[in-house]
Structure 1
Amino acid sequence: MKKCLTVLLILLSLISCKNETTNETSFQREADFNFDWKFQLQKDTILPTTLPLADTSWRNIRLPHDWSVEASFDESLEGCTGYLPGGVGVYQKHFNSPANSSEKSTFILFDGVYNNATFWLNGELLGENPYGYSPVYFNVTKFLKTDKENILTVHVDHSRYADSRWYTGSGIYRNVKIITVNKLHIPIWGTFLTTPNVSEKEATIELKTTVENELATESNFTLSTRIIDNEGNEVALKSDDLNLPSSKNNEFAQTFTVTNPKLWDTENPNMYKAVTSIIQNGETIDEYITPFGIRSLRFDKDKGFFLNEKLTEVKGISIHHDGGLVGAAVPKGVWKRRFEELKACGVNAIRTAHNPYSEEFLDLCDEMGILVQDEFFDEWDYAKDKRQNYHDRHDDYITRGYVEHFQKWAKSDLTRTMLRDRNHPSVFQWSIGNEIEWTYLHYRYDTGFWKDPNKPQASGKYWGSAPILTPEEIKANYDAAEKGEYILTETAHKLAKWTRELDPSRVVTTNMVVPQTSMVSGYADAVDISGFSYRNKDIAWANKHFPDKHITINENPGTWDDLKQVKENPGVFSQFMWTGIAYMGERHGDWPAKSGWGDLLNLAGFKLQGWNYFKSVWVDEPHISLGTLPIADSGFKAKGISGQQLPENSNAYKWRDSNMHWNYKDGEMVVVEACSNASEVELFLNEKSLGKRKMSDSPDRLFRWTIPYEAGTITAKAIYEEKEITTELKTASKPVKLIVTSDKTSLKADAYDVAHIIVQLVDENGIPTKTENTKVEFEIKGDAKMLGVDNGAPENLNDFQSNSVPTDQGRCLMILQSTKKAEQVTVIVKAEGFENQEIIINIE
């Protein structure tokens, strides 16, 4: 009888809570809490004492919000964070208590607030969160007023605006949710799902679910979990009758078998959902949905990385978390456009340099099939250089960063991040830190390359040289070195221990910039995989002297030597080039450059020549493209250059700076480069052959010619798998027209969806004119929001929050965001001397 009753309760739950054909649930546990906030900047850092604050004159905003990106660039500010200010801001939200809140528990979840945030509800302190990158939530149940309005106050102190080495943004720059649950419920981040056994025929799913009982009595309940595939079909079901004492929580395990699973990988990112319900008396009182993917990860120090037992090269990029003109409050649609471009040139992995990203970011990586190295910290015990006060050798208030909080908060920040992120199939590695060795001075001196303690940046020939000391000599230096209060290896082992306790299913890595000392000191022993940073010269040395260690590349400049390391060393399965997308900050005294180091995409998400180069290397399909560069800017010597010769100073040569145009002065010597995966390429100028270049004679996989400029057309031709592939660049004349395009013609009326409006100058023949520019103005007719404008150039100091911008390479970008009003919006594009252009965007 009891068994029949249980089956009946489960059937009733399935009927009432799930529509299998639409894969929708009628149970609402969480709600969007981003709308209808008030905001103002504050002149000092003093925390308010009388709360809530009077806010009738404050700005009305919707989150996510980054106030720094709203400001103008200012040379008097710091290049490390992009010449934009920080400051102190206060947010308030007025809201009514959720329905039946007296019988339930209510939480407010912040996915990220930068930084040093303090939270109150109705004047009662909820808590604080100093780290700007970790999610945090608060149980607000006892502070809610059911009979009148509630006011949530958030104080954000980013007065130390140069506290990072790159642009951070300021404010509540990630999503906020309000979560209302039964007193018997699954807590936030209360599930942990792994797939320990995976094959094409069958997969085992292990789910651990925490249940919390806030009731005054013991509770009996049924814990029922259904596994749903991406088409809405139920593929597995497990139900258990359980009980939980009053004021207790417990973790319950359920195991499932899925036959013929649809595996998650970078080409086919198949997703599933575990829908876990708590059922009492035939009623579902809580439901928790865990999106996941079925996949296996295996790392072999001699063979490399296996995804679903398929040997997989990790074609990775490092990026920072800003999205250009939107700052740190990046709409999902901005990331999606960028991810689509990155995937198209072969990228299959992202390293979150150097901190945890948003939940929304990881959701998109799950959906699009991008592996993620989830990195926790850029600093541990000691601080890094922010504005050339190397190793904090003088007191500098504005650069005080996370080091101030690490000892107290590191475990909490790491724990909250992992609990949020560990069910994402895209996350395949945890990285505990980035180039941490710089902050423990003796590490560099132990190698023998650094000599003068008064000049800690004077590295001699470190970057281009193999180790000069034996492991024994380096270890002797390490043992004899004077050490500070904190020992790097001790901190590393502590962080790795916390990581493995929360997730034993993934490997732990770190980014080592002084691996010679790290290998002998015990740092490498703390992690499963040692990722080297710009130290390809150390790989063979490490493999020889430490054959039991797994060595790969976690950061690199993206040269052919980096690619060769992966091709020639089976255990070296990855590279994460610096960087895939240009980012703001990390500049020192080079105003007006506010950004740099984008190899594949620039700050506006436009393709760079590096995109073509990496596509020719990473994607197994026909590719040929052209780039050009005046020899004076190339790093080559003008005299005696031959087809495939590399520049004498390869660091001075930047293939990523190549132009994608054919407009120069008559007779000017120009280096022409073809990116291709063909074995041989022939170049033509105005249909006259300039000769062939072979891949076998190209040290860095670039086919080069140096020719005097002549107006007309340069054409590159090649044979790939018996088919001719060709590309060309044409000389453009004066621009006569604006071409306006959008990546979307319609937007959802949700106040989140975005369209990228791109303007390009063209000549009378429709050829893009990339050497002439003009100022472009945007006008919007209709109810939509202009998020900002940019042209992608590092030196562009035009306000992002503007309706006009000068073009760069004849192009610019405006990002349009929908509102909740459905209507037709017209974007009018104007420029002096050009006919106005219009584009229609339907919001529906």
Structure 2
Amino acid sequence: MIREPWLDGWTVGPKLGAFEAATAESAPRPVRLPHDAVRDLPRSATGDQGVHTGYVPGGVFEYAKTFEVPAHWREKTVRVEFEGVYRDAVVFLNGDAVVHEPNGYNAFEAVLDPYLRYGEPNRLTVEARAHRDSRWYSGAGIYRPVHLVVADPVHLPLDATRVTTPDVDADRAVVHLATTVRNSSRHTRTVRVTWAIEGPSGAGLATGSTPVTVLPGSDAVARIRLAVEAPALWSDASPALHRVRTTLADERSEELDQDAAAFGIRRLQVDPQRGLRINGVPVDLRGACVHHDSGPLGAATFADAEDRRVRLLKDAGFNALRSAHNPMSRAMLDACDRHGVYVMDELTDTWTRSKVAFDAAPGFAERWRHDVDALVAKDLNHPSVIMYSIGNEILELASPAGAAWSRRLAEAVRALDDTRLVTNGINGIIANLDRMAEIAAADAAAATTDGPPSDEASDPNTMMATMGDTMARANASELVTTSTEESASVLDVVGFNYAESRYELDRELFPHRVIVGSETFPSRIERMWELVERLPHVIGDFTWTGWDYLGEAGIGRVDYTDEPDYTPTGTVGPYPHLLAGCGDLDITGHRRPVSYYREIVFGLRTDPYLAVHPPRHHGRPTATTPWSWDDSVSSWTWDAAPGAPVTVDVYAAADEVELLRDGVSLGLAEVGAEKAFRARFETQYRPGELIAIARSGGREIGRTTLRTAGEPGLVATAERADVAPDGLAFVGIALADASGVVAGDDDVAVTVTVEGDAELAGLGTGRIRTEESFAGPSVTTHDGRALAIVRPTGEGAATVVVTAEGFAPVRVPLTFRA
């Protein structure tokens, strides 16, 4: 089989109607895949996609590629594998329609055989569209990788070998292999399938083979059970990966096809008394929700970017990711397997009732089984996947029809894979939007200054933000209990979004129920994690969100309400907000203060953390949302006069904190007086050294130091200087002194150019409100930092040159080799 990346030689342009004339603006331009067709389009405050996509417009796009079809391909089957095209992809070959895939997140094949013209150039085109169909930034186009496959008519299709480990003991494990063989020929064929299992070190562990007869135009499944002695088990603490190589041979023992798949051997158990156990070991899920975009790359999916996200999220303390609200990319699943991160993979954001004008709901009733099949086929071999989520905040979930859909979807997933858990992100308020009057009436007896929304209820984020504590009480109401009971009963683990008020209640009402916080407010992690640790039937918490993302712009922002142009807008971030602003890590991978607070709450960090509120904003009134964190930075370098008042927060798992400035004590503060794990100081800014010392029981348990930056220079460093030709180089840019202390209060415009065998793929910062383009070549640093992403154009070398007015330029060498 010839299976090769098919990423070069493409063009893209706006799709023209049959009677539209081409213009200079509509002329196709060359691109390399993966590619996001909307990332670089001009943004506008008046665009009809609005805050959902960060004011980035949609459109209809056509990708095209011309390729030679040699005559000997007549004896082969030729197909193109797409890992994802957003959205409503239609593939044409030489003008003939080949396949239509409405779902923008499904992998699919285009079988070209009936339409090929042999011995001459052929033209493949792919149409894709994105317009008011998503509540977040989706991107558009061929945003995930593409492969060309030229195979024998009898071959192994995509995801041919499925691996499960139903029987695992300490001394041996049984690996069940099921391989699909496809016969596209006109004749019955008997072929032989051979499997070879390799251990984490590459050593051979078990082999087996069997003949299989395949009728013409059909599939057949070959199965075998192989024993692995003393297996290395996969978990977040020890992500041991095995590999199975599958070979297909004909009647003369000549190889027809081959494939390889990674898998892990692990045992998954859950119950309300002992919680979640992996290989018999209790596990609490320290979870993060993530969207699918890659920040400065837009929605374009690259293996190196996905690996980097997973690695940095795990370094920040997370051991689980929820793909919200769509199936996770293959590259991110691979990374979760390698790094040991558990996955809740989600099917969809809607079932049959729409949330935005042109989403996938109208076609759900006809396409749902196809989408479930695609999700499970992609995930089945990945040990990281422990839960399938069948939906998120489904509008009809509390109705009888919604309960029937819940059961139908859950059983369809189990029919394909009964080795994982099934969950659903249930929001009892969203599921009862049409009964908000009842909810308000039931809550009226409680004295509260907050209340149900009025004219802004159509935006669920604004509704949840304005309801305040009313939402917690409503989620624990009898109405929500009874209306969601059936839909919850079909699940192995009940996912609750923003409904921690149900955790203790359900222990009494539904003693056999296991719960996960499938989506929670980041500002309440100390309360969430106390519940997870104390209640065995609550197996984890997934914060919104682990990594910041494009769209839902400004839901985590902090506004200063004394600004002359300030207007209360709920969670709607006015233009030019681009990012959500609620990630523990920003879109460049830089950890925000909330990330360190969470790490301390998780019990993973003993040293305290210093978060300083900008002196220029001292005393100003603020407006936040439940997804906001304080406007603070871990810095003691400020453009402020000595003696200016400043608020200093110290996060610590301690009894008290002492703060010292230049060796002089500024006093002690109790940890938890206003907020758990936090001590707050009001002091004055003076350049120098700030030290926080955390103590418990009178004994020091850790300390942290901030120093004022000296004369800053322009610094640029590649995370890796040696990159594979199909990889990415990430170059961090900072304004820092000779000791590496970042001067973050005097941002400057930096320009990035690339010399040699590479190109600038993306350039950005964590600033949530901006009109700067990710395409570069210039960007203004944010808190003294920026990130350049460089893509090789082949093997060789390149130099990244970073310049800024008033600073000496910096040159970063890179090499690209396999």
The reply to whether TM is greater than 0.5 is yes
Q: Please list, as runs of the form range in 1=range in 2, the aligned pairs for 1:179-578 lying within 5 A after superposition.
A: 179-280=149-250, 281-384=252-355, 386=356, 399-437=357-395, 443=398, 487-514=401-428, 517=479, 519-521=481-483, 522-558=486-522, 559=524, 560-578=526-544
The verdict on how the C-alpha distance between 1:783 and 1:279 changes in structure 2, with shifts beyond 3 A counting, is: closer
Residues 498-547 of structure 1 deviation map (CA, whole Å, 9 limit, x = unaligned): 11111111111001110655642311122111111111111112221111
Deviation at 1:121, TM superposition (A): 1.3
Structure 1: distance between partners of 2:322 and 2:426: 14
Answering whether residue 691 of structure 2 is matched by residue 725 of structure 1, we say: no
- 1:623 aligns with 607
Q: Is the 8 A contact 2:749 2:778 kept in 1?
A: yes
Answering whether residue 803 of structure 2 is matched by residue 830 of structure 1, we say: yes
Q: Which amino acid aligns with 2:717?
A: T
Structure 2: distance between partners of 1:720 and 1:548: 39
Residues 395-450 of structure 1 deviation map (CA, whole Å, 9 limit, x = unaligned): xxxx311113212222212212211221111111000001113x57xx5xxxxxxx
Answering whether residue 639 of structure 2 is matched by residue 675 of structure 1, we say: no
Root-mean-square deviation (CA, aligned residues, Å) is 2.9
Of the structure 1 ranges 764-773 and 778-787, higher mean CA displacement relative to structure 2 is found in 764-773
SS in structure 1 at match of 2:39 = helix
The verdict on how the C-alpha distance between 1:330 and 1:214 changes in structure 2, with shifts beyond 3 A counting, is: closer
Structure 2: distance between partners of 1:653 and 1:99: 59
Q: Is the 8 A contact 2:688 2:707 kept in 1?
A: yes
SS in structure 2 at match of 1:173 = coil
Deviation at 1:780, TM superposition (A): 2.1
The verdict on how the C-alpha distance between 1:304 and 1:766 changes in structure 2, with shifts beyond 3 A counting, is: closer
Q: Please list, as runs of the form range in 1=range in 2, the aligned pairs for 1:752-791 lying within 5 A after superposition.
A: 752-763=726-737, 767-791=741-765
Q: Which amino acid aligns with 2:203?
A: N
Q: Please list, as runs of the form range in 1=range in 2, the aligned pairs for 1:736-747 lying within 5 A after superposition.
A: 736-747=712-723
SS in structure 2 at match of 1:171 = coil
Q: Is the 8 A contact 1:676 1:702 kept in 2?
A: yes
Structure 2: distance between partners of 1:711 and 1:330: 43
TM-score (norm 2): 0.85
Structure 2: distance between partners of 1:635 and 1:234: 66
Q: Is the 8 A contact 2:15 2:127 kept in 1?
A: no
Residues 38-78 of structure 1 deviation map (CA, whole Å, 9 limit, x = unaligned): 2212355x69999xxx9996322111110111223322221
TM-score (norm 1): 0.83
Structure 2: distance between partners of 1:377 and 1:635: 43
Deviation at 1:320, TM superposition (A): 0.7
- 1:10 aligns with none
- 2:567 aligns with none
Q: Which amino acid aligns with 1:213?
A: N
Q: Which amino acid aligns with 1:506?
A: R
Q: Which amino acid aligns with 1:329?
A: A
The verdict on how the C-alpha distance between 1:635 and 1:532 changes in structure 2, with shifts beyond 3 A counting, is: farther
Structure 2: distance between partners of 1:333 and 1:635: 43
The verdict on how the C-alpha distance between 1:100 and 1:423 changes in structure 2, with shifts beyond 3 A counting, is: farther
Structure 2: distance between partners of 1:620 and 1:201: 32
Answering whether residue 51 of structure 2 is matched by residue 79 of structure 1, we say: yes
Q: Which amino acid aligns with 1:242?
A: V
Structure 1: distance between partners of 2:517 and 2:779: 39
Q: Identify which of 761, 783, 791 aligns with 1:809.
A: 783
The verdict on how the C-alpha distance between 1:269 and 1:745 changes in structure 2, with shifts beyond 3 A counting, is: same
- 2:664 aligns with 688
Q: Identify which of 3, 8, 15 aligns with 1:42.
A: 15
- 2:814 aligns with 841
Residues 470-493 of structure 1 deviation map (CA, whole Å, 9 limit, x = unaligned): xxxxxxxxxxxxx7xx82111111
Structure 2: distance between partners of 1:685 and 1:245: 80
Q: Is the 8 A contact 1:584 1:594 kept in 2?
A: yes
Deviation at 1:808, TM superposition (A): 1.3
SS in structure 1 at match of 2:613 = strand
SS in structure 2 at match of 1:436 = coil
Q: Which amino acid aligns with 2:368?
A: A
Q: Identify which of 111, 129, 135 aligns with 1:139.
A: 111
The verdict on how the C-alpha distance between 1:659 and 1:499 changes in structure 2, with shifts beyond 3 A counting, is: same
The verdict on how the C-alpha distance between 1:29 and 1:502 changes in structure 2, with shifts beyond 3 A counting, is: farther
Answering whether residue 594 of structure 2 is matched by residue 610 of structure 1, we say: yes
Structure 2: distance between partners of 1:762 and 1:703: 28
Q: Which runs of 5+ in 2 are unaligned?
A: 429-474, 554-571
Q: Is the 8 A contact 2:672 2:678 kept in 1?
A: no
Residues 643-681 of structure 1 deviation map (CA, whole Å, 9 limit, x = unaligned): xxxx9x996795453211123454444332222345553
Deviation at 1:621, TM superposition (A): 5.1
User: What is the aligned residue count?
Assistant: 741
Deviation at 1:613, TM superposition (A): 1.3
Q: Please list, as runs of the form range in 1=range in 2, the aligned pairs for 1:91-106 lying within 5 A after superposition.
A: 91-97=63-69, 100-106=72-78
Q: Please list, as runs of the form range in 1=range in 2, the aligned pairs for 1:116-195 lying within 5 A after superposition.
A: 116-158=88-130, 160=131, 162-195=132-165
Structure 1: distance between partners of 2:783 and 2:573: 25
Q: Which runs of 5+ in 1 are unaligned?
A: 1-27, 387-398, 444-482, 638-646
Of the structure 1 ranges 676-685 and 414-423, higher mean CA displacement relative to structure 2 is found in 676-685
The verdict on how the C-alpha distance between 1:336 and 1:420 changes in structure 2, with shifts beyond 3 A counting, is: closer
Structure 1: distance between partners of 2:225 and 2:657: 56
The verdict on how the C-alpha distance between 1:518 and 1:654 changes in structure 2, with shifts beyond 3 A counting, is: closer
SS in structure 1 at match of 2:105 = coil
Q: Which amino acid aligns with 2:793?
A: T
Q: Which amino acid aligns with 1:314?
A: L
SS in structure 1 at match of 2:120 = coil
Structure 1: distance between partners of 2:348 and 2:60: 24
Structure 2: distance between partners of 1:688 and 1:56: 66
Structure 1: distance between partners of 2:628 and 2:147: 45
Percent of residue pairs identical: 29
Structure 2: distance between partners of 1:489 and 1:295: 32
- 1:390 aligns with none
SS in structure 2 at match of 1:102 = helix
Q: Which amino acid aligns with 1:804?
A: S
- 1:599 aligns with 583
